[in-house]
């Protein structure tokens, strides 16, 4: 078959025609609905971005808490409106900086947080009633939430004024990204604890950000990304409701979502519109929500990720800008724009600023925020949204046939599907079937970019170790032992909410590693299926 005879499809394989018009498209406006009205195809809010732009949230964190604190202050001074904490891997997986197995990783891909003392420095001079803070942390998310509550207390900010999001989505960690600790059952229980605690105590805090982003960067399609994310969301909501202490309307507003926007412009827009509508229908039809506000699909996204390439790296600036525009036309609530140099390095201050400027130009110069859902009613975009929703329903039914998301992950089924797509994508790029400018078309002879891996600051690590030793010697060992013992007995009883004890533990300056290990002793560790 010649190139021209192949069916033209989106990256997810949805067929697309050359022209959409009333001749081949039926628009059902009642099924689409107005912006801010069920089923929210056209966005969560009646006025779109007119009164409130999306949040510009740049992911940032490295080295020690003091260095990261300085970067946060810089970002806030330059118009950033939310913080996003990048924690190092030991913090995310529950090892202390002084654990001999993690020497190479302390402060490397994010900030090292061992105890509340580090969190105090991280937010020093940043009033927690004035910013919202997002944590890309999952296994240890409940501990990070406890840190935030404890820092807020020290700043005398009432807990109900705290705003932010913990990612707190363990299911996708088992599939991609990999910062799991305990097996699914107790991990989901701890997530339910945080959702319950936030619903009752911190009404403006998103207890979970169900994330498809990492499925996507592991290689899956846009449709799979959205469908697996919705299936994870179903798993968590079902688990909260199974506990029988809350109705859907009491916690649904604190469930949020997170995605990657990749390069297939209209498919990404359709993905967001279809996902928002599908979630609204699930909340109303599956769980019987009474309030429309429970049906809102509030989401953040990243523009960039695996769509960035090392050859001709400045092309990435253009890619990110288009992806950012697709995200906004899809109606996201917050966005992180990657820096163009990410394929080789942690971003510099300059490239981070440019990434933020990309969003600012989009918001203030292009006029896209002027009109709510400007693509609503487009024959093409509505058709693609319908086709995308159909795909979501199909993929979710397939996961259900495999016994639901937990089972499909434990069996390696989801991992297998994603590995297959990653393989196909790699082949499509290497064969030239998927054109990438500067990579397989319009290449130029250039020396390979001078990759700069963020150098691990050995002095920084030493400062962190000294600090940890200091905290350990200053705290009461008896208090730590007692609270960890209480935590363990509570962990053995599934109905007990662990959050109050976690706050107590961090306030006693128990370390992230100690808390994680105490729970590992009770719950065991996850065993990964290996699929490729």
Partner 1 sequence: MPPSAEQPRRVLVAKPGLDGHDRGAKVVARALRDAGYEVIYTGIRQKVAVIVEQALQEDVDLVGLSILSGAHLGLARQVLDCLRDNGLDDVKLVVGGTIPASDCRALLDLGVDAVFPTGTSIEAVVAGVDGLWREQNVAAG
DSSP 8-state class, residue 71: H
Q: Which of residues 420-439 bind partner 1 (CB under 8 A)?
A: 422-423, 426-427, 430
- Least distance in Å: CB of 399 to partner 1? 20
Q: Which is nearer to partner 1, 108 or 319 (CB)?
A: 108
Q: Which is nearer to partner 1, 308 or 501 (CB)?
A: 308
Among residues 487, 509, 484, 483, which one has the least CA distance to residue 497?
487
Burial of 521 (0-12, 13-18, 19+ CB in 10 A): exposed
- Given strand 132-135, what is the order of strands in its sheet? 205-206, 163-166, 132-135, 82-85, 55-60, 334-337, 298-303, 255-261, 208-211
Q: Does 178 engage in binding with partner 1 (CB under 8 A)? A: yes
Q: Which is nearer to partner 1, 29 or 423 (CB)?
A: 423
Phi then psi dihedrals of residue 163, to 5 deg = -130, 145
- Least distance in Å: CB of 346 to partner 1? 8
Q: Which long-range contacts (CB under 8 A, 24 or more apart) does 463-466 make?
A: 463/64, 464/64, 464/97, 464/106, 464/107, 464/112, 464/114, 464/118, 465/97, 465/98, 465/106
- Least distance in Å: CB of 79 to partner 1? 30
Size of the site for partner 1 (CB under 8 A): 42
- Least distance in Å: CB of 324 to partner 1? 23
- Least distance in Å: CB of 446 to partner 1? 12
- Least distance in Å: CB of 455 to partner 1? 8
Q: Which is nearer to partner 1, 193 or 421 (CB)?
A: 421
Burial string for 235-251 (b: 16+ CB within 10 Å, else e) reads bbbebbbeeeebbbbbb
Binding residue (CB under 8 A) for partner 1 from 19, 23, 77, 453: 453
- Least distance in Å: CB of 447 to partner 1? 8
Q: Which of residues 69-128 bind partner 1 (CB under 8 A)?
A: 89-90, 93, 95, 101-105, 108-109
One-character DSSP codes across 331-347? T-SEEEEPPTTTTTSSP
Task: Give the per-residue contact string, 133-162, with partner 1 (x = CB under 8 A; - = no).
Answer: ------------------------------
Q: Does 265 engage in binding with partner 1 (CB under 8 A)? A: no
Q: Does 309 engage in binding with partner 1 (CB under 8 A)? A: yes
Burial string for 2-22 (b: 16+ CB within 10 Å, else e) reads eeeeeeeebbbebeeeeebee
- Least distance in Å: CB of 149 to partner 1? 26
Q: Which is nearer to partner 1, 189 or 216 (CB)?
A: 216
- Least distance in Å: CB of 462 to partner 1? 15
Q: Where are the alpha helices (DSSP H) in 63-209?
A: 65-77, 89-93, 116-122, 141-154, 171-175, 184-201
- Least distance in Å: CB of 527 to partner 1? 9
Q: Does 173 engage in binding with partner 1 (CB under 8 A)? A: yes
Q: Does 33 engage in binding with partner 1 (CB under 8 A)? A: no
65 in Cβ contact with 112 (< 8 Å): yes
455 Cβ neighbours under 8 A, 6+ residues apart: none
Q: Which is nearer to partner 1, 205 or 228 (CB)?
A: 228
Q: Which is nearer to partner 1, 66 or 429 (CB)?
A: 429
Binding residue (CB under 8 A) for partner 1 from 159, 368, 369, 419: 419
Q: Does 489 engage in binding with partner 1 (CB under 8 A)? A: no
- Window contacting partner 1 (CB under 8 A); options: 174-182, 199-207, 235-243, 459-467: 174-182
Residue whose pair of structure tokens reads 């192949």 in the numeric block? 6
Q: Which is nearer to partner 1, 102 or 207 (CB)?
A: 102
Return d(Cα 123, Cα 153) in angstroms, integer.
12
Residue whose pair of structure tokens reads 């975009």 in the numeric block? 381
- Window contacting partner 1 (CB under 8 A); options: 32-40, 212-220, 244-252, 278-286: 212-220
DSSP 8-state class, residue 15: B
Measured torsion, CA atoms of residues 154, 156, 162, 168, in degrees rounded to the nearest 10: 20
Binding residue (CB under 8 A) for partner 1 from 39, 219, 233, 376: 219
Q: Does 311 engage in binding with partner 1 (CB under 8 A)? A: yes
Omega before residue 39 within 30° of 0, cis? yes
- Least distance in Å: CB of 219 to partner 1? 5
- Window contacting partner 1 (CB under 8 A); options: 124-132, 150-158, 308-316, 497-505: 308-316
Q: Which is nearer to partner 1, 34 or 410 (CB)?
A: 410
Q: Does 532 engage in binding with partner 1 (CB under 8 A)? A: yes
One-character DSSP codes across 244-310? TS--HHHHGGGEEEEEEE-S-HHHHHHHHHHHHHHHHHIIIIIT--S-GGGG--EEEEEE-GGG--S
**Three-state secondary-structure class, residue 473:** helix
Q: Which is nearer to partner 1, 109 or 246 (CB)?
A: 109
CA 255 to mean position of chain CA atoms:
12
179 in Cβ contact with 144 (< 8 Å): no
- Window contacting partner 1 (CB under 8 A); options: 257-265, 332-340, 418-426, 473-481: 418-426
Binding residue (CB under 8 A) for partner 1 from 306, 360, 488, 517: 306
- Least distance in Å: CB of 123 to partner 1? 25
Percentage helix, strand, coil for the chain under 3-state DSSP, each rounded to 5 = 50, 10, 40
Residues that bind partner 1 (CB under 8 A): 89-90, 93, 95, 101-105, 108-109, 173, 176-179, 217-219, 306, 309-311, 343-344, 419, 422-423, 426-427, 430, 448, 450-454, 456, 528, 530-532
């Amino acid at each position: 078959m010649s190139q021209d005879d192949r069916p033209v499809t989106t990256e997810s394989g949805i067929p697309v025609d050359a022209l959409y018009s009333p001749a081949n498209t039926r628009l059902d406006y009642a099924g689409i609905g107005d912006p801010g009205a069920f089923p929210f195809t056209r966005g969560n809010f009646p006025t779109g971005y007119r009164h409130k732009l999306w949040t510009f949230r740049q992911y940032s964190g490295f080295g020690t808490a003091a260095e990261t604190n300085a970067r946060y202050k810089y970002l806030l001074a330059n118009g950033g409106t939310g913080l996003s904490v990048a924690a190092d891997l030991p913090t995310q997986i529950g090892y202390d900086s002084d654990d001999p197995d993690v020497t190479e990783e302390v402060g490397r891909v994010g900030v090292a947080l061992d105890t509340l003392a580090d969190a105090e420095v991280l937010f020093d001079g940043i009033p927690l009633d004035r910013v919202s803070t997002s944590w890309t942390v999952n296994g240890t998310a409940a501990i990070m939430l406890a840190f935030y509550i404890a820092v807020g207390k020290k700043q005398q900010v009432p807990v109900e004024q705290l705003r932010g999001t913990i990612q707190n989505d363990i299911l996708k960690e088992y599939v991609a990204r990999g910062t799991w600790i305990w097996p699914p059952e107790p991990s989901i229980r701890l997530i339910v604890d945080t959702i319950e605690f936030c619903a009752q105590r911190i009404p403006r805090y998103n207890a979970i950000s169900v994330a498809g982003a990492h499925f996507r960067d592991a290689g899956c399609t846009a449709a799979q990304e959205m469908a697996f994310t919705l299936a994870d969301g179903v798993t968590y909501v079902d688990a909260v409701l199974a506990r029988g202490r809350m109705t859907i309307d009491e916690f649904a507003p604190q469930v949020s979502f997170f995605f990657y926007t990749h390069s297939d412009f209209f498919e990404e827009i359709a993905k967001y519109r279809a996902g928002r509508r599908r979630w609204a229908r699930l909340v109303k039809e599956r769980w019987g929500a009474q309030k429309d506000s429970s049906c809102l699909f509030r989401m953040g996204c990243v523009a960039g990720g695996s769509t960035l390439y090392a050859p001709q790296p400045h092309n990435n600036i253009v890619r990110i800008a288009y992806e950012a525009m697709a995200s906004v036309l899809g109606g996201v609530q917050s966005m992180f724009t990657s820096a163009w140099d990410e394929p080789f390095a942690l971003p510099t201050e300059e490239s981070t600023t440019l990434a933020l400027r990309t969003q600012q130009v989009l918001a203030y110069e292009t006029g896209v925020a002027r009109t709510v859902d400007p693509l609503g009613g487009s024959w093409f975009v509505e058709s693609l949204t319908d086709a995308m929703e159909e795909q979501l329903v199909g993929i979710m039914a397939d996961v259900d046939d495999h016994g639901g998301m937990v089972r499909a992950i434990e069996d390696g089924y989801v991992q297998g599907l994603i590995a297959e797509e990653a393989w196909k994508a790699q082949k499509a790029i290497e064969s030239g079937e998927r054109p990438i400018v500067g990579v397989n078309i319009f290449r130029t002879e250039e020396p390979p970019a001078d990759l700069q891996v963020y150098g691990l600051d050995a002095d920084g690590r030493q400062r962190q170790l000294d600090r940890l030793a200091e905290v350990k010697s200053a705290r009461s060992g008896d208090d730590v032992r007692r609270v960890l013992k209480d935590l363990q007995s509570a962990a053995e009883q599934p109905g007990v909410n662990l959050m109050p004890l976690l706050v107590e533990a961090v306030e006693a300056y128990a370390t992230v590693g100690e808390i994680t290990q105490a729970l590992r002793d009770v719950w065991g560790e996850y065993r990964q299926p290996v699929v490729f």
